[in-house]
């Protein structure tokens, strides 16, 4: 009798493709929200009667806490399971959305954005780890390529949906729209029966706190250009290392930063974030300044790059399974090198500009897409999948923060700021080519049986 009761309450098994689709819907929701806020920012600031200088914090606090939460959520997914961590991330994202929408003041609005960011840390890297665990090595790249597609669609639709909402409804709906999407995800994911083997070791609470402070101070030092915060980060680094050496299951596995098989990939991920940010974030201003494109239309220049990035992400995943992720990643950095060099030289006509950003977008789609995830999973064990992908995402996030910060300094200090910026971006691509060419996996690829067992 009791056995029958247990069987009835146990979640029904659903197909692998449906599970992956549910996780990818989380990626789409996060990407949509990231782009949807921009068109509504002026309405939000007017509603709370705050200036533009405060408005920047609606993005800064999100970027900051997203970076902090990535490695923590990744590690917790290895400890408590990807399903539970993903559901927690979706729930936090929905709760944060409601708080932001119903906030009585700007402080509560920022709290909502902060909770959203923490939730995002349980969505993006966990999805990559789940997809990798759901497919055998020979099919993993193609499956991971869909992350870039869903992210690209959400990124393109974000500003468009945001503009429509602001035109026909109050700005609060740009956040409330996340709630039904989150409920659909939670409803379907609850039916997924996870059989992932998890770690039972004690949670490294002190390490989590020290790492969070280190990342926060480092990210703020970059964005605020603060020497004091940079010094705090420098002081925290050896403290974190000493703490983690004594932990049974540290939040920071120091071998990731001492073994070439993982260190080279982390540096490449940092570089990919830098290349991506200098390409995408600065493109509208580039179009306004050098091509005299009207400010109201300059944002549309991102669309061809986003479309090219989506196509490249899917193709890169497919080719990673065919010719190897390392070769595909090398091709990606060659393409970003060509694109950055073209942008550094300047484009005198709109058709040439569109061709250049299509090339750059194609390269970006490869270097931030499946190949790096496939390679890092070849270098670590299945038990560390969540943490490894989390650190890959963290380094990419740091790189994407460094890009606009450096761009701002160059544009303020010289008339040829764009030329210098893209020369640096090209140099980063060259350095990445050297690093990736040196990489070789030190870990054996997990067997198909182990992969199936981990899902």
| Largest Cα–Cα separation, the chain | 79
How far is the C-alpha of 125 from the C-alpha of 18, rounded, in Å? Answer: 18
More confident residue, 315 or 9: 315
pLDDT digits (tens, 9 = 90+) for 245-274: 988 888 888 989 999 989 999 999 999 999
pLDDT digits (tens, 9 = 90+) for 16-52: 788 889 999 999 998 888 778 877 888 888 899 887 7
More confident residue, 137 or 197: 137
Q: What is this structure's pTM?
A: 0.85
pLDDT digits (tens, 9 = 90+) for 352-370: 888 999 999 999 999 998 9
Grade residue 13 by pLDDT with cuts at 50, 70 and 90: low
How far is the C-alpha of 293 from the C-alpha of 287, rounded, in Å? Answer: 6
Cα Rg of the chain (Å, integer) = 21
Would you give the distance in Å from CA 199 to the centre of its chain?
A: 25
- CA torsion sign, 220 to 436 to 152 to 410? positive
Check residue 296 and give its pLDDT.
61
How far is the C-alpha of 327 from the C-alpha of 132, rounded, in Å? Answer: 19
pLDDT digits (tens, 9 = 90+) for 96-133: 999 999 999 999 999 999 999 999 999 988 998 888 88
Contact of 66 with 397, CB cutoff 8 Å: yes
How far is the C-alpha of 215 from the C-alpha of 325, rounded, in Å? Answer: 29
pLDDT digits (tens, 9 = 90+) for 290-310: 777 776 666 677 788 888 999
In sequence order, the 6+-apart residues with CB closer than 8 A to the CB of 252 are: 71, 207, 211, 240, 241, 244
Grade residue 14 by pLDDT with cuts at 50, 70 and 90: low
Percent of the chain at pLDDT exceeding 70: 91
Scanning the structure block, which residue is given the tokens 């970027």? 63
How far is the C-alpha of 93 from the C-alpha of 293, rounded, in Å? Answer: 36
In sequence order, the 6+-apart residues with CB closer than 8 A to the CB of 79 are: 198, 199, 201, 203, 249
Contact of 381 with 443, CB cutoff 8 Å: yes
Would you give the distance in Å from CA 386 to the centre of its chain?
A: 14
How far is the C-alpha of 370 from the C-alpha of 375, rounded, in Å? Answer: 9
How far is the C-alpha of 162 from the C-alpha of 40, rounded, in Å? Answer: 7
């Amino acid at each position: 009798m009791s056995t029958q009761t247990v069987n009835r309450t146990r979640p029904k098994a659903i197909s692998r493709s449906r599970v992956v689709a549910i996780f990818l819907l989380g990626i789409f929701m996060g990407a949509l929200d990231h782009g949807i806020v921009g068109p509504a920012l002026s309405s939000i600031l007017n509603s709370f009667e705050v200036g533009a200088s405060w408005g920047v914090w609606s993005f800064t606090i999100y970027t900051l806490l997203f970076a902090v939460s990535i490695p923590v959520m990744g590690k917790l997914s290895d400890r408590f399971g990807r399903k539970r961590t993903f559901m927690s991330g979706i729930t936090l994202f929905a709760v944060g959305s409601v708080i932001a929408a119903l906030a009585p003041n700007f402080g509560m609005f920022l709290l909502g954005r902060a909770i959203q960011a923490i939730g995002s840390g349980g969505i993006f890297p966990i999805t990559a780890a789940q997809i990798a665990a759901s497919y055998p090595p020979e099919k993993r790249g193609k499956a991971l390529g869909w992350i870039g597609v869903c992210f690209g669609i959400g990124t393109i639709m974000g500003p468009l949906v945001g503009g429509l909402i602001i035109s026909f409804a109050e700005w609060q709906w740009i956040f409330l729209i996340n709630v039904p999407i989150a409920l659909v995800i939670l409803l379907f994911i609850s039916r997924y029966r996870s059989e992932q083997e998890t770690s039972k070791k004690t949670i490294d609470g002190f390490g989590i706190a020290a790492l969070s402070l280190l990342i926060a101070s480092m990210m703020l030092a970059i964005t605020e250009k603060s020497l004091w915060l940079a010094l705090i980060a420098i002081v925290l680094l050896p403290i974190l290392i000493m703490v983690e050496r004594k932990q049974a299951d540290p939040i920071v596995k120091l071998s990731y930063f001492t073994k070439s098989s993982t260190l080279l990939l982390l540096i490449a991920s940092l570089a990919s974030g830098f290349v991506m940010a200098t390409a995408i974030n600065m493109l509208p201003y580039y179009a306004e300044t050098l091509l005299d494109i009207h400010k109201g239309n300059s944002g549309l220049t991102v669309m061809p790059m986003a479309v090219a990035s989506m196509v490249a992400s899917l193709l890169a995943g497919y080719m990673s399974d065919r010719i190897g992720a390392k070769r595909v990643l090398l091709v990606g950095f060659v393409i970003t090198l060509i694109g950055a060099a073209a942008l550094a030289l300047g484009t005198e006509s709109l058709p040439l500009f569109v061709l250049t950003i299509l090339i750059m977008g194609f390269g970006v789609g490869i270097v931030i897409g499946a190949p790096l995830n496939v390679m890092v999973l070849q270098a670590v064990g299945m038990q560390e999948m969540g943490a490894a992908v989390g650190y890959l995402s963290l380094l990419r996030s740091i790189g994407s923060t460094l890009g606009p910060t450096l761009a701002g300094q160059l544009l303020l200090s010289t008339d040829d700021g764009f030329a210098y910026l893209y020369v640096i971006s090209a140099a980063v691509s060259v350095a990445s080519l050297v690093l990736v060419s040196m990489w070789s996996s030190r870990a054996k690829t997990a067997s198909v049986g182990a992969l199936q067992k981990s899902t």
